[in-house]
Structure 1
Amino acid sequence: MPRNSPHMQANVGAVASTVPQEQRAQRDARHDRLFSWLLKGCALLVLACLLGAAGATLWGGRHAFGTFGWHFLVSATWDPGSDTYGALVPVYGTLMTSLIALIIAVPVSFGVALYLSEVAPPWLRTPVASAIELLAGIPSIIYGMWGLFIFAPFFADHIKPWLTNYLGNKPDDGKLSWVAQHTFLGKLFGSDYPFGASILTAGIVLAVMIIPFISSVMREVFQTVPTRLKESAYALGSSTWEVSWDIVLPYTRSAVIGGIFLGLGRALGETMAVTFVLGNAMQLSPSILDPGASIASTIANQFSEAAGLQKSTLMALAFLLFVVTFFVLLIARWMLRQLAHKEGR
């Protein structure tokens, strides 16, 4: 066969084209491996930072854990003069303020998200949604100053007297209401403290802070519901509430729970806003109208002047806050997995 025949030229061209393709495939595979290693390094870096923060706080609080043992978790004593410390008051304050914030914020956030996604006219949705996103970006110290100078005095003058007189066991006229006599609300809303700083005040301020976060997440996931599902429900005669409760919420249940726990994580670790309005009293009281303390506010108030065992105790509190937040997020993941299992995913 002649060298310059068309068949020979085609074979040479095929071989020549095969070589660059193999080189390109090897190069792409090498780049894919590098990209995979880079992503794995980023993930491991986050994990290393997480473990490093937990290990640093645990190592810093080892002296407190070794001195007080498990009694540190159940003791309400906080006496720097005798170097005796307990974590019960800060842990209780952290959990109570976050729980109050969640009880207030979740229904309000659900209503806001539902209004913006299902009820509000189109010309109003964008401005209100932008305002909510702006509220999420306000620094926490601004909320704390608002709570200290505006909301706490208003709470002490108008809301707290009503709660103590009609729900608490320490009314101004000395006459206990039926609610205070026959329910646990008497102790929960009974207080002699005259000022507005309290666990309830801190919980309300935290609720105002986390409402933009939760409502933004809910609004985004509500908008992912297929329009055909909602239109089919409306065509069958369902009301807006029925469509929202039976169609929208079940479809986005997992994401809604994730958004709620995202707001809860923000509330658990909040420092400045809580420090302004909580009262920072290291005393355990059954009343949410009395001042209290949280883990974050205790660390912020005392760490600059702490030394020795007190400093180790504050580091131990930081580790406890890490543990509490970790378990909250773990519960959230467990709930999401259970929901996914029920939905057959």
Structure 2
Amino acid sequence: MFDANSRKRHPATATLTDQPEPTNHRDAVKRSLRSRPSQSDSIFKGVSLTAGVTTVSIMLAVGIFLSLRASDALQVSGINFLLEQQWSPETGQFGIASVIFGTFTIAIIAMFVGVPLAVGTALLLSEVVRGPIRSFLVSLVDLMAAVPSVVFGLWGLFFLQAAVIPVSAWISTYFSFIPIFAVEDGSGARLTEASAFTSSAFIAGIVVGLMVVPTQTSVMREAFSQAPMGEREAAFALGSTRWGMIRTVVLPFGRGGMIGGVMLGLGRALGETIAVYLIISPIFTINWEVLKTGTNSVSALIALRYGEASQFGLSALMAAGLVLFLITLVINFTASSIVARSRSGAETS
């Protein structure tokens, strides 16, 4: 007979027992995670490591080569190599003060020309046009980056220069109170003839600025396209116009990419050779008048004097190349760091 009191004294309980350990070693192996990299991962790691080491080795080799070849000239000139304007290695009077000044003058003018065009083009491609038109324009900009420098140089020499000379004369006429826009002879008289405005740093800077636009546009377009979609839609939901959304969301988010693109373009502008060589009239004095005929650059100097240089002259040219190599290396590393921070979402001050 069923005893309720007995049930209360001995309530039914459920006993939980541990699952038996797998006795089969194969089952244990199936349940474990593989920590050893696969063969494809090992190959990829090896190839990537080899490529990185090779790239660094080549850069170090270039730096060491230039340093060794430039040692003779640097021992003779010393610190005057950075201060002397004239270039006459045979007489012991040589330096890169004037060519470094001309190099940065051309590069700065190129940035004033190229950066607004690059920002506008990048915003157009990332925020305005869509569909096949966008693909066509992107391909067109990328194709512009593949145009050889000599083509830009010839175009600037035979076409752009004739179109820019009246602009240079107009700027000199109405803004000559600014020293860099004055075009004067040795006595201080203002020059107005067209020959005074040819082969200037201004014309060379315009050509180089157009050359760096594709590089800057590519970096900026990628940075702008990474702006969060949620913030874009929130700006529109709050009644913002397209320009308002670009100004408050896209431009702040792409600031790092803009800075990186500018510096990458600056690095290329500093090292541009053949286009500048074709356009400028080389001089070895510091010319503050950017509209006036005559300027120089380090790369154009090397192209101009390499064929006729003596053994010591080659050492001096190698020293000039070493300085340009170090300058562009610092600029490109800084630009790459800024672009990497922008892509990772880090704040760039």
TM-score under structure 1 normalisation?
0.82
Alpha carbons of structure 1 residues 43 and 106: separation in structure 2 relative to 1, 3 Å: same
Contact 2:157 2:278 in 1 (8 A): yes
Query: Which of residues 241, 244, 263 is equivalent to 1:242?
Result: 244
Matches of 1:248 and 1:154, distance apart in 2: 36
Residues 1:190 and 2:183 aligned together: yes
Number of residues of Structure 1 aligned to a counterpart in Structure 2: 317
Alignment of 1:54-65 (within 5 A): 54-65=63-74
Matches of 1:215 and 1:31, distance apart in 2: 36
Contact 1:75 1:86 in 2 (8 A): yes
RMSD between superposed Cα atoms in Å? 3.0
- Could you tell me which residue of structure 2 aligns to residue 322 of structure 1? 325
The residue identity in structure 1 corresponding to 2:182 is F
Matches of 2:173 and 2:270, distance apart in 1: 31
Rg larger in structure: 2
The runs of 5 or more residues in structure 1 that have no matched partner are: 1-9, 169-179
Contact 1:148 1:277 in 2 (8 A): yes
**Structure 2 counterpart SS, 1:197:** coil
- Could you tell me which residue of structure 1 aligns to residue 18 of structure 2? none
The runs of 5 or more residues in structure 2 that have no matched partner are: 1-21, 185-190
- Could you tell me which residue of structure 1 aligns to residue 98 of structure 2? 89
After TM superposition, the structure 1 stretch with the greater mean CA deviation from structure 2, 55-64 or 239-248, is 239-248
Alpha carbons of structure 1 residues 331 and 31: separation in structure 2 relative to 1, 3 Å: closer
**Structure 1 counterpart SS, 2:307:** helix
Contact 2:197 2:291 in 1 (8 A): no
**Structure 2 counterpart SS, 1:230:** helix
Query: Which of residues 327, 336, 347 is equivalent to 1:343?
Result: 347
**Structure 1 counterpart SS, 2:196:** coil
Alpha carbons of structure 1 residues 16 and 328: separation in structure 2 relative to 1, 3 Å: closer
Residues 169-216 of structure 1: CA distance to partner in whole angstroms, max 9, x if unpaired?
Answer: xxxxxxxxxxx1xxxx23443244525211111110011111122112
Identity among equivalent positions (%) equals: 30
**Structure 1 counterpart SS, 2:64:** helix
**Structure 1 counterpart SS, 2:285:** coil
Residues 1:147 and 2:156 aligned together: yes
Contact 2:84 2:93 in 1 (8 A): no
Q: How much has 1:42 moved relative to structure 2?
A: 1.9
Matches of 1:18 and 1:58, distance apart in 2: 61
**Structure 2 counterpart SS, 1:304:** coil
Contact 2:115 2:262 in 1 (8 A): yes
Matches of 1:343 and 1:215, distance apart in 2: 21
Contact 1:76 1:283 in 2 (8 A): yes
Residues 1:299 and 2:292 aligned together: no
Query: Which of residues 101, 106, 115 is equivalent to 1:106?
Result: 115
Residues 1:116 and 2:125 aligned together: yes
Alpha carbons of structure 1 residues 187 and 100: separation in structure 2 relative to 1, 3 Å: closer
The residue identity in structure 1 corresponding to 2:169 is P
The residue identity in structure 1 corresponding to 2:208 is L
TM-score under structure 2 normalisation?
0.81
